[in-house]
Amino acid sequence: MALLDDLSLAVQKGKAKDVEALVTQGLAEGVSAQQLLDNGLLTGMSILGNKFKNNEVFVPEVLIAARALNRGTALIKAKLVEEGVEPIGKVVIGTVQGDLHDIGKNLVKMMLEGAGFAVVDLGVDVSPEKFVAAVQTEKPHVLAMSSLLTTTMGAQGKVVEALSAAGVRDAVKVIVGGAPVTQAFADQIGADGYAADAASAADVAKSFVLAA
């Protein structure tokens, strides 16, 4: 579909206004939010990601593209999140210390909100202390952590340890994810759940709340 190709291209070029216009147009024409996300926005980022890997583009281009992508997902979120629904539970979410990647984390947040959760977003580069403090004050059902770097995924384990040290490990279910994270890694650090993608993260969080 031409609109989805144009959307992918607009993300790659970091054209935020074009991204906004194309997403708005797509929604008005009845293109599903999922299609706009998977076949437009994320396709664009995936193509750019390969160029980044091959040193054909560099950090500034990727950063500008990420901002454009986030403008698009904000519009989609408005479509996905139902109005006036009572939250089914609360989630605290963040990207771990040392890690600035937030596109995947934002998608997980969006899916959680779409599934009816109230979400407290701590942002990126979140220290174990900050995660623990948020669990103590917000009292969420689920703590969700994202990590995109092999060098930062270990910080997820540090957060689990910090929760235990603070005596609040049993007060919350911990879900981890992000490109380098696996079920085996989640088991190794003592997380309660792992999800490979944003939609599955929402399913796992829901299963914890429904089982409680």
By CB under 6 A, name the binding residues for ligand B1M: 42, 45, 49, 52-53, 59, 62-63, 66, 98-105, 107-108, 144-146, 148-151, 175-180, 195, 197-198, 201
Q: Among the residues of 81-142, which ranges form H helices? A: 103-114, 128-138
Taking the complex as a whole, the smallest distance from the CB of residue 153 to ligand B1M amounts, in Å, to: 8
What is the residue type of 34?
Q
Taking the complex as a whole, the smallest distance from the CB of residue 179 to ligand B1M amounts, in Å, to: 4
H or E element that contains 164: helix 154-165
Taking the complex as a whole, the smallest distance from the CB of residue 86 to ligand B1M amounts, in Å, to: 23
CA-based nearest residue to 198, from 77, 104, 81, 99: 104
Query: What are the distances in angstroms from CA 180 to CA 68, 120, 132, 159?
Result: 24, 24, 23, 17
Taking the complex as a whole, the smallest distance from the CB of residue 158 to ligand B1M amounts, in Å, to: 16
What is the residue type of 88?
I
Nearer to ligand B1M (CB atom), residue 107 or residue 135: 107
Instruction: Give the separation between CA 90 and CA 50, rounded to whole angstroms.
Output: 35
Nearer to ligand B1M (CB atom), residue 62 or residue 168: 62
Nearer to ligand B1M (CB atom), residue 22 or residue 48: 48
